[in-house]
Homo-oligomer: A and B are copies of this chain.
Amino acid sequence: MVTIKDIAKKLGFAPSTISKALNNAADINDDTKQLVYETALKMGYKIKRQKNSYGLSERRVCIMIDNMDYENNEQFGYDLILGFKDAAMNRNWDVDIIPMSLNALNPIARNYDTYMLQHKYSGAFMIGFSMHNDYIRNLKKTQFPTVLLDNHITENLKVGYVSTDCYEGIRLALKHLKKLGHRKIAFLNGTKNTMISYERINAFEQIMHELNLPVYDELLENGYYVPDCAKYHVPKFLKHGATAIVCASDLIASGVINEVTRHKLSVPDDISVIGFDDMPFSTRLSPPLTTIKQDRLSLGKSALILLDGLINDIPISKMILRAELIERNSTDVAKQS
């Protein structure tokens, strides 16, 4: 076990300086803190859990959140955080929520491990980050147990991810459409070059083959997770005779319904539409949306369970949840062509 004395000896500082720096004391300057954190991490220093005022060991983890709304129950992050906090309470973990946009000016926050050590977190759940982000690059070599959503880091035993089984979800959606007589089915995917978009397009093509349905290149497109992207792709889908469109999110599906309507066609009479997520607003679309449900509360709970496992040295790589098809009114029998 590396101690504060070991770090002090290595740096030629007094042990009290090391201790103050690790506790983020105001009378130690940022450069010294940074040096102490980096040295401590390099030497493999582990935070000792301090007793809190109730005499219990401090057990703190955090949720770092970026590019994702979570303030009200209409938003994707809301149930995710609720589930995480609920499971954390059951296991006596305290949870801090850290909106990363508020850390943009903090130089120490730019280094993930330093930040975690400074704030005495045992682990983190990171949501909404893009893979090109500095923080994600930090994860390749982090020593801190970390859980991601829909994002994979190879060969670091400290990082795992939670996700919804998109093979199962897309299989349920395509079986449903096949039963309704659809054959020319389009897929409007999310942002290109992310792990989850890659998995979903693979799932779509594989399951179309399994079900003996034809796959047309003209009916596969990548959009973005906003309704607006529909107008760039739906016209092509319609031109190539699609009778059904599967979308990578409910937001995209809402845009697709609008775009189909703008072409003087009806959902579901002319075109069937399936979303992904089962967001609260999907029941209020017109027509109410058939969609592949992601159980966000359970995803949040699973993230904490996975993080707790990583903290206890169980090298979990993935936890994958079941998907469910919620049938509403945006799908119907295929129109005879």
Contact = CB atoms under 8 A, between A and B. Distances in A.
Interface string A63-93: 0000000000000000000000000000000
Interface string A291-328: 00001001001100100010011111111111010000
SS class of chain A's interface: helix, strand, loop or mixed?
A: mixed
B298 A165 contact: no
A240 to B, nearest CB: 30
B309 A316 contact: no
Contacts of A302: 309, 314, 316
A23 to B, nearest CB: 31
A317 B154 contact: no
| Chain A interface extent, by class | 20 to 34
Nearest to A91: B91
Interface in A282-297: 295
A165 B301 contact: no
A316 B301 CA distance: 10
A314 B162 CA distance: 13
A33 to B, nearest CB: 33
Contacts of A172: 155
A6 interface: no
Contacts of A317: 165, 168, 320-322
A305 B298 contact: no
A317 B166 CA distance: 11
A157 interface: yes
A313 B301 CA distance: 11
Contacts of A295: 315
Nearest to A322: B315
Contacts of A322: 157, 315-317
Contacts of A312: 301
B301 A305 contact: no
Contacts of A319: 316, 318-320
A211 to B, nearest CB: 14
A318 B323 CA distance: 12
Given A298-B314, A302-B316, 13 more contacts: A155-B172, A157-B324, A165-B317, A168-B317, A302-B309, A302-B314, A305-B305, A314-B321, A316-B319, A316-B321, A316-B322, A318-B318, A318-B320
17 contacts: A155-B168, A165-B317, A168-B317, A295-B315, A298-B314, A301-B309, A301-B314, A302-B309, A302-B316, A305-B314, A314-B321, A315-B321, A316-B319, A316-B320, A316-B322, A317-B322, A318-B320
**Top 6 nearest A-B pairs by Cβ distance?**
A315-B322, A318-B320, A298-B314, A317-B322, A317-B320, A165-B317
